[in-house]
């Protein structure tokens, strides 16, 4: 069955989640902690994801912004940077302006020129996602931005993936689902989507029952895989 719809995770897939810490560390007056930014960014992202899984399992859903702030607070303390309220606020402010990866605009443009549906499906709240899309200037290449807020549970719950068929009236086999999270790509594979795992960091495969159909280092080949 031909691909008609390309769905993208947002954070880490289209948008560089390390950009906030990297940019803050490069600003004047931040030399005292600048060497710690890679560790801070990594810890922040890991805790952000872990908190979504725990909340999904326990039914304690909340806005993704709360999860993002909670993950940052943990990471700041782990890196010995807790108590720096100005740094905390700067990092949170920058999260609304995350940079898209370099190949993203041209890749999305090719998909749209080929007549494919394109959308984001993310744990992010609508206002966070709209801010990132606007900042990156990619709104013209997206048909929709779907947030888990509409179903009240984080990925990889199947109710999140159900949103795609409800929005685009397509079969699961018509969907190319793209994520930088191995667990997300695996979950979407189990759901029935055609999948692509964007493994930018060269991480090992997650030990799960499902394996992504495609493993890529960036998004450049997505139009080719989608048949665009």
Q: Which residues are catalytic?
A: 9
- CB under 8 Å to 75, separation ≥6 — which residues? 40, 43, 44, 47
Sheet holding 5-8, edge to edge: 144-147, 117-122, 5-8, 175-179, 194-198, 214-216
Q: Say if residue 17 is preceded by a cis peptide, omega within 30 of 0.
A: no
| 148, 110 contact by CB (below 8 A) | no
- The candidate with the shortest Cα–Cα distance to 130, out of 20, 214, 213, 138, is 138
CA-closest candidate to residue 123, choices 2, 17, 206, 18: 17
Coil, strand or helix: which one is 176? Answer: strand
The answer to whether 49 touches 154, Cβ cutoff 8 Å, is: no
Instruction: Say if residues 143 and 113 touch (Cβ distance below 8 Å).
Output: no
Q: Of 222, 228, 159, 153, give the one whose Cα is nearest residue 194.
A: 222
Cβ contacts of 49 within 8 Å, gap of 6 or more: 71, 181
């Amino acid at each position: 069955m031909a691909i008609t719809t390309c769905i993208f995770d947002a954070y880490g897939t289209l948008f560089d989640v390390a950009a906030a810490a990297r940019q803050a560390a490069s600003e004047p007056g931040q030399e005292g902690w600048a060497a710690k930014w890679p560790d801070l960014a990594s810890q922040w992202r890991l805790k952000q994801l872990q908190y979504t899984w725990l909340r999904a399992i326990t039914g304690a859903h909340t806005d993704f912004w709360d999860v993002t702030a909670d993950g940052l607070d943990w990471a700041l303390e782990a890196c010995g940077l807790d108590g720096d309220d100005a740094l905390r606020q700067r990092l949170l402010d920058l999260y609304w302006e995350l940079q898209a990866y370099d190949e993203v605009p041209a890749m999305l443009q090719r998909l749209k020129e080929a007549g494919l549906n394109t959308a984001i499906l993310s744990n992010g709240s609508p206002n966070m996602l709209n801010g990132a899309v606007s900042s990156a200037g990619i709104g013209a290449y997206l048909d929709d931005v779907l947030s888990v807020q509409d179903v009240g549970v984080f990925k990889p719950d199947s109710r999140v993936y159900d949103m795609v068929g409800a929005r685009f009236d397509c079969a699961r086999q018509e969907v190319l689902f793209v994520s930088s999270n191995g667990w997300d790509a695996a979950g979407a594979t189990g759901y029935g989507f055609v999948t692509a795992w964007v493994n930018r960091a060269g991480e090992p495969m997650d030990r799960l029952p499902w394996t992504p159909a495609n493993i890529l280092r960036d998004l450049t080949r997505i139009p080719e895989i989608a048949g665009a």
